[in-house]
Structure 1
Amino acid sequence: MKSITINGSKRESVGKSSSRLLRNAGQVPCVLYGGEGPIHFSAPELAFSKLVYTANAYTVVIAFGEKESYNAILQDIQFHPVSDKILHIDFYQLFDDKKISMDIPVKVSGNPIGVKLGGNLQRNKRKLRIKALPTNLPDNIEIDIAELNIGDKVYITQLFNENYEFLHPDNTVVCQVRRARAALVVETEEGEGEEGEEGAEEGSEGTPKESESTEGKESSEAKED
């Protein structure tokens, strides 16, 4: 997986007032968990743009000068409810021998047969949560959907990979091709039209029978006279 380097500065003081001063100076208060103890630090808000405002997944190298650095992943992030500015970020330290859980984006390739026939592609899951060693974390999970026809689905069990495990139920649908609603409406209307025509034909066939019975009745009355 690709990595982004964040150059940070360790914080000597923590607390609300200290965090407020950092934000006013364009810095983001952060905490790195997972090691011997939490490490409080800060970094410029602009340094997180490629990590936060993207659909891609990255690991992070948190560097404190040239001699001290830690591999990590973004664990949690808080935004201001009005301005959407980053308020706080939590990171989790990575170790080569410890598996980590992470959300990985799903990338689809190919133009489904079902879409060419008028169906709609539905992306049920745009990210999948996996568990793997840091060295086995993929940049994305790619699915070839070219052969999907209308009604076909891709289940999580079809994406098995020995390098990582999925943290989803086996019946999870990742994507599918569904019949377009417009096509369903047209078919329904056509079906109702055919039923109406059949009813009209049955009604028209019944008319001569009624006239025949009427003629027979008139004939019998004439004989009686």
Structure 2
Amino acid sequence: MSTVVHAKKREVGHRSVLTELRQVGFVPAVVYGCKTESTPIAINARDYEKTLREDGKNSVVTLELDGKKINAVLNAAQKCALKGTLVHLDFLAVNMSDALEVSVPVSITGDSVGVREGGVLHQPNREVILKVKPSDIPESIEIDISALEIGGTLAVSDIRSVSTFKILDTDDLLLVTISAPIVEAESAKVDEEASIEANNAAK
């Protein structure tokens, strides 16, 4: 069952109106998509931030607008760079029976062998694109890196066959790599070169 988010229509074209909305605790938004014309709306910022914390950004919400209920997912969110507060939201109205494309975070689990040996973990890409029905959108895709050694990598090709979701990214999209640490010899060489440069500069 999706969370109900109460919305109200708002005026467009006036910056002062948007400022007033934010001052009284609302965030400007727009909803568009399945059987829904693009409609400027406003929702309670505090209530929706609570929904985001509890249900995640990929959860389906039911926008209640003028007595009409619209199933929607968050398509885009703008935040204030300084305060981190919500500035504007885009909602995509969806048909619960139709699959849609959605970006889902990659969550790593396990204690990598390579990291225990001093390797450095990198996540070149932190999201994958899925094609999934709205009610089945996962909060994240988990990847177990326990067996990953130094020099090892995990790409979409490594998880596609075991994933219960249809992944739209190409097989070669890198998700995790374990790079080798800087060994003592290399570190000493760097220190020595820096010392020589410093001495030469002092002459």
Map residues 1-225 of structure 1 onto 2, 5 A cutoff: 4-11=3-10, 13-16=11-14, 17-36=16-35, 37-50=37-50, 56-64=56-64, 68-80=68-80, 82-160=82-160, 163-182=164-183, 185=186
In terms of Rg, which structure is larger? 1
Q: Distance in 1 between matches of 2:124 and 2:107?
A: 12
The gaps in structure 2 that reach 5 residues or longer are 190-203
Q: Which has the higher strand share?
A: 2
Q: Distance in 2 between matches of 1:184 and 1:132?
A: 50
Amino acid at match of 2:17: S
Report if aligned partners of 2:9, 2:65 keep a CA contact under 8 Å in 1.
no
Other structure's SS at 1:70 match: strand
Equivalent residue, structure 1, for 2:193: none
The gaps in structure 1 that reach 5 residues or longer are 190-225
Amino acid at match of 1:108: I
Q: Distance in 1 between matches of 2:5 and 2:109?
A: 32
Residue 65 of structure 1: CA displacement? 7.0
Report if aligned partners of 2:103, 2:128 keep a CA contact under 8 Å in 1.
yes
Other structure's SS at 1:142 match: strand
Q: Distance in 1 between matches of 2:68 and 2:55?
A: 29
**Deviations, residues 158-201 of structure 1 (Å, cap 9, x unaligned):** 11166533232221110021111245726x96xxxxxxxxxxxx
- CA distance 1:175–1:21, shift in 2 (3 Å): same
Residue 155 of structure 1: CA displacement? 0.9
Amino acid at match of 1:122: H
Which of structure 1's runs of 4+ aligned residues deviate more than 6 A? none
| Identity fraction in percent | 25
Report if aligned partners of 1:79, 1:86 keep a CA contact under 8 Å in 2.
yes
Q: Distance in 2 between matches of 1:59 and 1:129?
A: 15
Q: Distance in 1 between matches of 2:26 and 2:68?
A: 20
Q: Give the TM-score taking structure 1 as reference length.
A: 0.69
